[in-house]
Structure 1
Amino acid sequence: MDQALEQITDFTVSVRPETVPDNVIEHVTGIFVDSIACAMAARDCPGALAAAKIPALPRGDGGTVIGSSAVATLDMAAFWNTSMIRYLDYNDTFTGGHPSDIIGALIAVAGAHRLAGRGFLSGIAISYEVFHRISLRHRSYRKDHGAIVDYLSIDQGFAVAIATAAGIAHMLDYDRAKTRTAVSLSATNGLPLRASRAGELSHYKGVATAASTRQAVFACQLAEYGLTGPSDPFEGRHGFIEVMEGKAGSMNLEPFGEWAVLRSGLKYFPATANSQIGVWAALKLREGLDLEKVSEIVLHTSRFLRHESGSEPAKWAPTTRETADHSLPYIVAVALLDGGVTLSSYTEEMLSSPKVRGLMKKIKVEVDEKIESEWPGTIQIRATAKMADGSMNEVQASDPKGTYRNPMNREDIKIKFRQLVEPVLASRTDSVFDSAWNIVASDDCQKVFDQLVVE
């Protein structure tokens, strides 16, 4: 018996919307509102433009598309929504990924079925719990001989697909057999390569998890109509563990019980989660600093942060926003020069700016063993600026705004919502925010989604 598959299935079918604690519902409400803000600001992203050109099947009502009255199939609506949520890299962060990518698919399905708001929010909560546990296993970090040894070749879309299927199964009240099949099919066909986010990043980086959510919706549809799935996708012969470790074995999933979603975070700045701490360190370092007299800046941090955002040559010469928002040297240089990072930090003019490029050349990223020993419990950077006269300026920053130890509250999220949504909804922005924040009380969540439509 595949214990991991049984654990996920048991949890998904046992939780009822009314039994999800109110503090969990409040937390996922903030994630939902943050996610639709990210989507509304990226309505013209490459993934959305491509999805809009793919014809919908001419039958029935399709899935809900954020901010649009377009008719799309359920799986394409999931892809479309997720592309928008993900594009700006401004959405949430949790256990090695961005589970709010899942929300695009849940919106597509919940809107099409006109589900109650609490049921939709509990679907998000279920998804996050599954995502967290799969991510812990598939990205099980160990430090051997000074190197990270884990499943870095497999992208977060693996966990996204499985968690999306669980969330949909919960929202639509699948029985145990259908839930088990939906999760199994999503796992069996959900091993995307992390090549999507290596080197000079392409448009696909922004839609990789969108492809995973689309696949999960299709898996759920197959399960609904009676297709059966593999019995042991995780722990059996040729299952996930055997593929990754050479021998079948247990996933050893963290038991369900404590609501891990409460430890998820949001992004205060539009940059990869790994680089958020770099912005805060730069803001502290720039106080009273004469950048013209800086000869070198060293960012001392964890091995993971260096590996992900400060180890490849492309990170010192970004030519696309997809690479720039994953580049610690770029993020830090912009923050030092401009006092922050905004969506306008990724224009072609900024990417080619001689000032930014010149400052980046002075930046080094090194592993600090003390910081490494405290990661991931504490996210830190110690930034040192060496001046032309030999003097040194040093600051330390930890736990950036938006992490669960330093969370963004409703007002923080509202400010971000206004920044992202007001250019689209103008005077309706605040009323839409209030409606979205109160979706838990809605008997039909599509009524809330309808308020986002702009054409």
Structure 2
Amino acid sequence: MDHALEQITDFVASVRPKDIPDPVVEHVTGILVDSIACAMAARECPGALAAAAIPDLPRGAGGTVIGSSAVATLGMAAFWNTSMIRYLDYNDTFTGGHPSDILGALIAVAGSRRLPGRTLLSGIAVAYEVFHRISLRHRSYRKDHGALVDYLSIDQGFAVAIATAAGIAHTLGYDRNQTRTAVSLAATNGLPLRASRAGELSHFKGVATAVSTRQAVFACQLAEHGLTGPSDPFEGRHGFIEVMEGQAGPMNLEPFGEWAVLRSGLKYFPATANCQIGIWAALQLRAELDPAQIREVVLHTSRFLRHESGSEPAKWAPTTRETADHSLPYVVAVALLNGEVTLAAYTDEMLSSPEVRALMQKITVVVDEKIEAEWPGTIQIRAAVTLADGTRREVHARDPKGTYRNPMNREDIRVKFRHLVGPALGQDTDSVFDLAWAIADSKDCTQVFEKLITG
């Protein structure tokens, strides 16, 4: 028996929307509202444009597409929504990735059935719990001669696909057999490579998890209509553990019980989660010095942050927003020069700015063993600056705004919502925010999504 598969199935099938604690409902509501804002600001992203151009019409009711009256199949709506939520790299952060990518599929499905808002929120909460536990396992790594190895070659889409299937199964009230099959199919066909996030990043980086959510929707549709799936996708022969470790064995998932979703965070700045702390450090430094006098900047941080956002040559010469928002030297340089990092940081003009390029070349990123020892429990950077006259300045930034130790509250999210949704909704922005925040009390979640349609 595949204990991991049974463990996930038991959890997904046992939770009821009324069982979700109020603090979890409130937290998940913030995630949903934040994700809607991210999607609304990215309606013209490459993934959304591709989805709109590909004929994929449903035979019956289609999936809900955020900010649009377009008609699409559930799978295409899931891809479309997730592409928008993900594109700006402004959505949430949690164990091993961005579980709000899952919301694209859950919104498509819940909207197509006109389900109550609390049912949608319950599906999100359940999906996050599954995502967290799969991510803990698949993001395991060891330190070997200063390099991260093993599971880091597998992208977060693996956990996204499994958690999406679990969330849909819960939202639609699947029985145990349907739930088990949906999760099994999503796991068996869900090993995406992290090559999508290496080197000069392409458009696919922004839609990689969207592809995973579309696959998960299909897995659920197959399960709903009686198709059976592999019995041991995680722990059996040729399952996940054998593929990753050379022999079959237990998945050893963290037990379900405590609501881990409460430890998820949101992003204050439009940049990868790894880089948020670098921006805060840069803003602290800027308050103490003239950026024009900087001779050298040394960023001391964890091995993971350096590996992901400060080790490749492309991170010092980004030509696309996909690379720039994953580049620690780029966002630090922009923050030092401009005193902020907004969506304007990724225009062609800023990407080619001689001032930004010149300052980036003065930035180095090194591993600090003390910081490494405290990662990932504490997210931090020690930034040391040497000025032209030899003067040194140093700041030590910890736990950036948005992380669970320093969370964004409802009003923080409202400000972000205004910034991202305001250009589309104008004076109606605040009323739509309030409606979305009250979605738990709605008998039909589409009442919120219909207010987002602008054309």
TM-score by length of structure 2 reads 0.99
**SS of equivalent residue, structure 2 residue 311:** coil
Distance 1:261 1:142 in 2: 25
The structural deviation recorded for 1:165 is 0.3
Q: Does 1:229 align with 2:257?
A: no
Q: Please name the residue that 1:133 is paired with.
A: 133
The sequence identity of aligned pairs, in percent, is 81
1:261 correspondence with 2:267: no
- Deviations 1:295-321, CA, capped at 9 Å, x for gaps: 110000000000000000000000000
Q: Which runs of 5+ in 1 are unaligned?
A: none
Q: 1:363 maps to what in 2?
A: 363
Aligned partners of 2:319 and 2:352 also within 8 Å = yes
Bigger drift between 147-156 and 13-22 goes to: 147-156
Answer yes or no: is the 8 Å Cα contact 2:35–2:100 preserved in 1. Answer: yes
Q: Matches of 1:149 and 1:260 in 2, distance apart?
A: 26
Aligned residue in 1 for 2:142 = 142
Tell me which residue corresponds to 1:290. 290
Q: Which moved more, 1:5-14 or 1:442-451?
A: 442-451
Q: 2:199, 2:58 → 1: CA distance?
A: 40
**Corresponding position of 2:216:** 216
**Take 2:293 and 2:106, find their aligned partners in 1: how far apart are those partners?**
51
The aligned counterpart of 1:29 is: 29
C-alpha displacement at 1:292, in angstroms?
2.2
Give the structure 2 partner of residue 319 of structure 1. 319
Q: Deviations over 1:236-263 (max 9, x none)?
A: 0000000111100111000000000000
C-alpha distance in 2 between matches for 1:194 and 1:54:
26
Taking the aligned partners of 2:116 and 2:174, their CA distance within structure 1 comes to 16
2:58–2:73 CA contact under 8 A, matched in 1? no
Query: In 1, distance between residues paired with 2:277 and 2:104?
Result: 27
Within-5 A mapping of 1:7-406 = 7-57=7-57, 59-406=59-406
State how far apart, in whole Å, the 1-side matches of 2:332 and 2:55 are. Answer: 42
Q: Give the letter aligned to residue 118 of structure 1.
A: R
Aligned-partner residue type, residue 355 of structure 1: E
Offset of residue 436 of structure 1 = 0.4
Once the two structures are TM-superposed, the CA of residue 144 in structure 1 deviates from its matched residue by 3.2
How does 1:422-433 map onto structure 2 within 5 Å?
422-433=422-433
Letter in 2 for 1:330: Y
SS at match of 2:295: strand
Q: Distance in 2 between matches of 1:298 and 1:133?
A: 35
Give the Cα–Cα distance (whole angstroms) in 2 for the partners of residues 152 and 58 of structure 1: 37
Q: Counterpart of 1:151 in 2: which secondary structure? A: helix
CA contact (8 A) 2:150 2:244 kept: no
What is the CA deviation profile of residues 75-109 of structure 1, one whole-angstrom value per residue up to 9, with x for unaligned ones?
Answer: 00000000000000000000010000000000000
What amino acid is aligned across from residue 182 of structure 2 in structure 1? Answer: A
Give the number of aligned pairs: 455
| CA distance in structure 2 between the aligned counterparts of 1:283 and 1:31, rounded to whole angstroms | 26
Q: Deviations over 1:191-228 (max 9, x none)?
A: 00000010000000000000000000000000000000
SS at structure 2 position matched to 1:453: coil
SS of 2:331's equivalent in the other structure is helix
